[in-house]
Amino acid sequence: MTRYLKKCRIIGLVGLVSFALSTLPAAPAGATLVCPPGTHNPSYCKRILSLPVVITIQGPTVKVVITVTDPHLKVTLEHNGKVKTLFNRNAIGKVTIEFAKPTAPGTYQVKAVATANGLTKTVVKQFTIS
């Protein structure tokens, strides 16, 4: 009889754990749940990634600061059709990328792409060197 009770307890515990795991969100922890106005039912909401990007030019240095929560991040610099990868790996928190200020005049484009669990967010910022 005690063997039967042990099996019942283990089966019950496994069922409880599997139920708890099934209630976890499928989207990344860094995703924000956005719902239509007046809606509280999560099935009508969707998860989005937030990806703030700030570019500052300080003397001979260009500084790109990106805040990410848990996705894979790829940052590229583009000018006249040439693309240079500045960052390409997983990141958490503030990512600061510094590089020498370009000498060629023109408009440069910094493209940040964050990907996590099927969600993708792309932010493109431009700066001009005269």
74 and 117 inside one domain: yes
When pLDDT is averaged across residues 23-43 and rounded to a whole number, the result is 66
The domain tally of the chain equals 2
Say whether pLDDT at 19 is over 50: no
- Please provide residue 8's backbone torsions phi and psi, each rounded to the nearest 5 degrees: -65, -40
CB-count burial class (<10 Å; 0-12, 13-18, 19+) for 14: exposed
When pLDDT is averaged across residues 2-10 and rounded to a whole number, the result is 59
Range of the domain at 76: 48-129
Specify the pTM: 0.67
76 and 114 inside one domain: yes
**Three-state DSSP class for residue 79:** strand
37 and 58 inside one domain: no
List, for residues 93-106, the tens digit of each pLDDT value.
899 999 999 999 99
58 and 38 inside one domain: no
When pLDDT is averaged across residues 66-80 and rounded to a whole number, the result is 90
